[in-house]
Amino acid sequence: MVELTSMFSALAAQPMLAQAASGEGGFPWLTLTTFGPLLGILALMFIPRDQIEALRNTALLTTIGVFLVSLGIMVNFDPGVAAGAGEAFKFQLEHGPLEWIPALGIQYYVGVDGFSLWLVMLTTFLMPIAIWSTYSAVDKYVKEYMISLLFLQVGMIGALVSLDVFLFYIFWEVMLVPMYLIIGIWGGKDRVKAAIKFFLYTMLGSVLMLVAILYVYLQAGADSFLYTDLLAVELSYTEQFFLLAAFFLAFAIKVPLFPFHTWLPLAHVQAPTAGSVILAAVMLKLGTYGLIRYAFPLFPDALVVYAPYIALLAVIGIIYGALLALVQENVKKLVAYSSVSHLGFCVLGLIAMTPAGLAGGMYVMLAHGIATGGLFLCVGMLYERRHSKQIADFGGVSKVMPLFAAFFGIIMFGSAALPGLAGFVGEFLSLLGASQSHFLSFGEYLFYAPNGSETTIPLPERFAEVNPVDSVTWGPEMTAFIFTIGGTLGVFLGAAYLLWMFKRVMFGAIKHDAVREMPRLTVREIGVLLPIVIMIIFMGVYPKFFLSYMDPSMEAYLTYMDEQVTQAVESAEADEERAPIYGEVVVEPLDPEWVPEGSMWDRALDRVDE
C-alpha cells in the first residue's frame, strides 16, 4: 500500500500534474469528474439504439474514464492542509466561484474536503460496476437506461462537490429525475408506484429544504449562496429550530431515518439491480452527507436540543430495521431493511460529535456503500438465474455456484461487521464514539418550548454528589451509553438476519430443480464482484488509508462545532427568555494534542524526496 501511495505521490510530483494541482487556475479535476458523464451521454446520443453492445460499452468506458479522472482528485488532495481558526471546512481543488446567475448571487463553485472526497470516490468506483452489472439485466431501452445512469452520476457527484448551496440544491434535484425513470421504467412489477412514492417522498423534504435555504439566504443579505457565506449567518435560536427541522426532514428522508423510511424497501425491491446499487450505495449517503455538511453546522444552537432525538431515531432505526430484516421473505427487501439499520449506525456516529463517532459515521457510509452495493449485485445475480427473490425459492446454492458462495459470503460478513472486513471498522467506531459522547443529553425540551415555559419532564438527579471512587454518574454519558447498548444490539441482530438469510439461500439441500440448473458465474460477473470483495477486505484490513484523508477535516469540523455549541449553550444560559439547556452538553472535548493524521501522506512525500 505504501508503495501505491508513493507511486501516487510520484505521479503528483510530475510537473504538469503538480502545476495542475497548485490552487488557482489548477486543473479542474472536480468539474471534469462531475460533468465527465455528460460527454458519455453526448456520445450515446449518436449511437443508434439497436447497437446495444456499443451503447453499453460506451457507457462503461465513460464511467471508467470518470473513475480514472477521479483518481486525480485523490492524488491531488492533500490531507495535510489544515483549516484555519474558526473555519469549519477547508476545501481543496476548488474550481470557481464563477458567476452563474449573478442577479441572485448564484455561483458555480466546487471543491472537496475530507468528508466529500471518499464519497466522490465511492460514486465513481461503483458506477462502472453498476453499469457492467446491467449487461445481462437490461435489454430494453438500453440507450435511455445508460443515459439515465450517467445523468444520475452527474447529479450525485455534483451534489457532493458543490460549495454553493443553490448549486447543491439543483444537483440534489437533478439526481431525482433519472432515478425516478430508472425505477419507473426498468423496475419490477410495482415499479410505477415505487417510483412515485420515491419521488414524492424525497421531493417533500427537499422543497422544505429549499424554503429553508432561501430563508437563510435572505437573512444573510450578502447576495450570495456560497456555503461559507451562509455558514456565517447569525440566526436566532427560534429561527434555527425551524430551519433545522426543514433541513433535517429533507436529509432524514433521504438517509432514511426511522419513521421516514417506508419509501426505501419499495423502491429497492422494484428498482433494477444497478438502480438499487446506486440508490443504496450513494444516494442514501447524500442524506447523511447533507446532515454533517449542512444541517449540523448551519444550526448548532438548535442541534443541541435536537441531538438526543436524532440519536434516538437512529437507534430505533438500527433495531427496527434489523427486526424487520429478520422476518423478510424477500432477499432484496431484507437487504433494503438492513440499509435502514446500517444507516442508523452512521447517523448515531455522526450525531455523537466525537472523533471516533464522526470517523465511524463516515466509514459506515463507505463500507455500507460497498457492502450493500455488493449484496444487491449478488441478489441481482440470483434473480437473473432463478427469476425470484423469495428466500424459499433457493437453498443449496453453494453447491451449484461455489465461487459465488465465496463472494457472497465475504460481502455478507462485510455487511455483518466482522472484524477485518469493511463493515466492522465503521460500526465499531460509531458505537465507540456514541459511547463516549457528551452531546446526547436530553434537555428539558421535548418539543420546542416557546419563551421559557416550564420544564415538562422531571429528570433524575444528574449531578448527585460524586463519590471519589464512583465517577460514573447518571448524565449525558449514561444516556449515550444506553444509545450505545441499543446500537450494539443492532450489530448482533445484523449477524442474525444476514446469517439466517445466507443459510436459507446458500446452504442446505437443494430443494428446487431450477436451482440445480443455475449456471456458474460468468467472467463478467466475477469482474463485477471482485473489485467489491477486494475493497471490502482492504477497507477492513487497512482503514487507516481512508481515515488519514479524513482526519484533518474532522478535527476542524469538531473544533468548529465545539466553539459553536459552547457559544450556544452560553447564550442560552444568559438568555432568561429560554429555559436553560440542561446539563453540560459539549462536543467531545478535543485533545489539544490532536495532530491530524494525514501524516501517512507526508511520509510518502518524504520518501519521494529522499
Footprint of other proteins on this chain (CB under 8 A)?
259, 262, 320, 323-324, 326-328, 354-356, 358-360, 396, 398-399, 413, 418-420, 424-425, 428-429, 431-432, 435-436, 467-472, 477, 481, 484-485, 488-489, 491-493, 495-496, 499-500, 503, 506-510, 542-544, 547, 551, 554, 588, 590-591, 594, 597
The single-letter code of the amino acid at 371 is A
CB 486 within 8 A of CB 434: no
Three-state secondary structure call for residue 367: helix
Minimal distance, residue 106 CB to other proteins, in Å:
31
For residues 138 and 157, give the distance between their C-alpha atoms in angstroms, rounded to a whole number: 24
CB 361 within 8 A of CB 421: no
Minimal distance, residue 10 CB to other proteins, in Å:
22
The residue ranges of DSSP E strands in 105-208, in sequence order, are 106-112
Minimal distance, residue 386 CB to other proteins, in Å:
18
Residue whose cell numbers read 466553539: 563
Minimal distance, residue 518 CB to other proteins, in Å:
15
Minimal distance, residue 339 CB to other proteins, in Å:
14
Minimal distance, residue 371 CB to other proteins, in Å:
15
Q: Sign of dihedral through CA atoms 425, 429, 430, 431?
A: positive
Minimal distance, residue 262 CB to other proteins, in Å:
4
Minimal distance, residue 567 CB to other proteins, in Å:
22
CB 149 within 8 A of CB 172: no
Minimal distance, residue 572 CB to other proteins, in Å:
26
Nearer to other proteins, 474 or 492 (CB): 492
Nearer to other proteins, 374 or 490 (CB): 490
- Interacting residues of 153 by C-beta distance below 8 A, sequence separation 6+: 37, 63, 66, 123, 124, 127
Residue 195 CA: distances (Å) to CA of 114, 121, 201, 592: 33, 27, 10, 49
Nearer to other proteins, 109 or 557 (CB): 557
Residue 300 cell numbers, joined: 448548532
Minimal distance, residue 266 CB to other proteins, in Å:
8
Nearer to other proteins, 272 or 543 (CB): 543
Neighbouring C-beta atoms of residue 197, cutoff 10 Å: 18
Closest CA to 141 of 225, 50, 57: 50
Residue whose cell numbers read 442541534: 303
The single-letter code of the amino acid at 9 is S
Minimal distance, residue 610 CB to other proteins, in Å:
20
Nearer to other proteins, 111 or 487 (CB): 487
| H or E element, residue 92 | strand 92-101
Minimal distance, residue 571 CB to other proteins, in Å:
27
Nearer to other proteins, 218 or 469 (CB): 469
Nearer to other proteins, 305 or 554 (CB): 554
Q: What are phi and psi of 87, to 5 degrees?
A: -95, 140
For residues 205 and 263, give the distance between their C-alpha atoms in angstroms, rounded to a whole number: 13
Nearer to other proteins, 119 or 324 (CB): 324
Minimal distance, residue 74 CB to other proteins, in Å:
20
- Interacting residues of 569 by C-beta distance below 8 A, sequence separation 6+: 304, 581, 585, 586
Minimal distance, residue 299 CB to other proteins, in Å:
24
Residue 376 cell numbers, joined: 444487491
Residue 545 cell numbers, joined: 488509508
Minimal distance, residue 537 CB to other proteins, in Å:
11
CB 236 within 8 A of CB 174: no
Nearer to other proteins, 171 or 258 (CB): 258
Three-state secondary structure call for residue 396: coil
Cis peptide upstream of residue 97 (ω within 30 degrees of 0): yes
Nearer to other proteins, 56 or 389 (CB): 389
For residues 173 and 251, give the distance between their C-alpha atoms in angstroms, rounded to a whole number: 13
Nearer to other proteins, 69 or 196 (CB): 196
Half-sphere exposure of 446 (CA within 13 A, CB side): 6
| H or E element, residue 492 | helix 476-506
CB 317 within 8 A of CB 261: yes
CB 93 within 8 A of CB 33: no
For residues 521 and 81, give the distance between their C-alpha atoms in angstroms, rounded to a whole number: 45
Nearer to other proteins, 114 or 178 (CB): 114
- Interacting residues of 535 by C-beta distance below 8 A, sequence separation 6+: 125, 370, 422
Nearer to other proteins, 45 or 523 (CB): 523
Residue 451 cell numbers, joined: 419563551
For residues 290 and 282, give the distance between their C-alpha atoms in angstroms, rounded to a whole number: 12
Nearer to other proteins, 43 or 499 (CB): 499
Nearer to other proteins, 41 or 257 (CB): 257
